[in-house]
Amino acid sequence: MRLPRSSGPPSLPGARLTPGAGERAYVYAKACGIMGKSFVARRIPELTRPDRLSALDRLVFPRESRELPERELLPDLERRITKRAVSQILSIVSSYSRPPELLLRLLRTWEYADLKSSLNALVGGESSFPSWTGLGPFGTVRFAAYPDLAAMLKGTEFEFLLSREMNLVRGGDAVLAQTLLDKHYYSCLWQAVKKLPVSDRTEAEKIIAEEISLRNCIWALRLRSYYGMPGREVSEHLMDIGPVKRGKSFRKGENVPAPVSLAADARAMLDFSLDSRSAWEGWRRERFLNPEIPGRSWTADPRYFQNATGDYLYKRALRAFRRKPFSVDTAFCFIRIKQYEEDLLTSVAEGLGLGMSGQDVFSLLEVVP
């Protein structure tokens, strides 16, 4: 399923250009320096120690911690966590004279999230949009023009949403809005990675393919579990991106597997019972399902599945980060790792705000420190 592309602005800068050797070396060195101070890999266990938000604040921002009441500290801390993640990623992207389109697409993950929030705010009749994440020269949506959706999107790649404004805003179709934006994001991301030379995209292409496939599974689980949507209708909301080849390389003369759609795994589970664990046995993504607990009835849990797959994709990016030091793959993995760190820090902050311990949050997220 592919979304109609806007006839608006030309493709992003650097769409078909690759960075030079000097830029690659500088980016790798800078990314390694930032990673060494980040709460990833060996530093993750440190996040289980704080027992209050103020302690987490001092751990994450030792020179910029705030003396605020807990109720005020939580949103402030979350804003600073996001601001720092975006700032560090911007420092990497801006190190290229012509940033590869793939990296700009990753950076604009925050723009997509803010656009979804603004559409939900419009549906809810909110007169003002509280805040959004600034992306410097790489932002495209004019959030300051809220609630004028046309002024926000005119001339951007999201202009296609304007023809559906009546459905999205007045009809309050949040599922349609999220589906359209997710399809657009991942379709553009897939096209961007394919524009790179093979030597620059080996790891990125594999991880993005896995992410799209797993995102389809998450979306299918959510639509079935939370909205009671039948399988045939769920199928219409999946991102049918691909096809891709699956499996190991084959020698000449051996059978080669046919390319598959990145929606195949999600479609395979559309008729599985949500209340029967045995119905899912043999499914390709079975290992990400919530386990059975003795004495309790089992129900497929979309939140557990999403957390488990998020941890899996982070670890893939972490392993691949140093595999090809001077390729665009390295910058791609760096951004994905920093986005995971932001999610993890925010989750710990929210958990502490609710009176949970850091260890409890890790258990809930299926993260092993």
Q: Is the confidence at residue 15, as pLDDT, over 50? A: no
Site of tokens 């050797």: 21
Which two tokens mark 29? 């060195």
Tens of pLDDT, residue by residue over 38-51, are 999 999 999 999 99
Decide which of 165 and 283 is more confident.
Answer: 283
> 58 with 37: CB under 8 angstroms?
no
Q: Is the confidence at residue 7, as pLDDT, over 80? A: no
Tens of pLDDT, residue by residue over 255-301, are 545 567 899 999 999 999 999 999 999 999 999 999 999 999 999 99
State the Cα–Cα distance between residues 249 and 228, nearest whole angstrom.
40
Q: Is the confidence at residue 248, as pLDDT, over 50? A: no
Which two tokens mark 163? 């023809």
Confidence (pLDDT) at 247: 54
Where are the extended beta strands (E) located within 206-295?
none
Q: Is the pTM of this model over 0.75?
A: yes
Q: Which amino acid would we find at residue 52? A: R
State the Cα–Cα distance between residues 306 and 289, nearest whole angstrom.
9
Q: Could you tell me which residues come within 8 angstroms of residue 282 by beta carbon, excluding any fewer than 6 positions away?
A: none
Tens of pLDDT, residue by residue over 17-71, are 456 888 999 999 999 999 999 999 999 999 999 999 999 999 999 999 999 998 8
State the Cα–Cα distance between residues 119 and 147, nearest whole angstrom.
9
DSSP string, 75-116: HHHHHHHHHHHHHHHHHHHTTSSS--HHHHHHHTHHHHHHHH
Torsion on CA atoms 301, 304, 305, 310, rounded to nearest 10 = 160
Confidence (pLDDT) at 325: 92
Q: Quick one: three-class SS letters along 113-177?
A: HHHHHHHHHHHCCCCCCCCCCCCHHHCCCCHHHCCCHHHHHCCCCCHHHHHHHHHHHHCCCHHHH
State the Cα–Cα distance between residues 366 and 310, nearest whole angstrom.
9
Confidence (pLDDT) at 125: 85
State the Cα–Cα distance between residues 321 and 309, nearest whole angstrom.
18
35-52 burial, b at 16+ Cβ within 10 Å, e below that, comes to beebbbeeebeebbebee
Angle of the 174-195 helix axis to the 198-227 helix axis, nearest 10: 170
- Asked if the bond preceding 369 is cis, omega within 30° of 0, the reply is no
> 255 forms bridges with which residues in the sheet?
none
- Asked if the bond preceding 147 is cis, omega within 30° of 0, the reply is yes
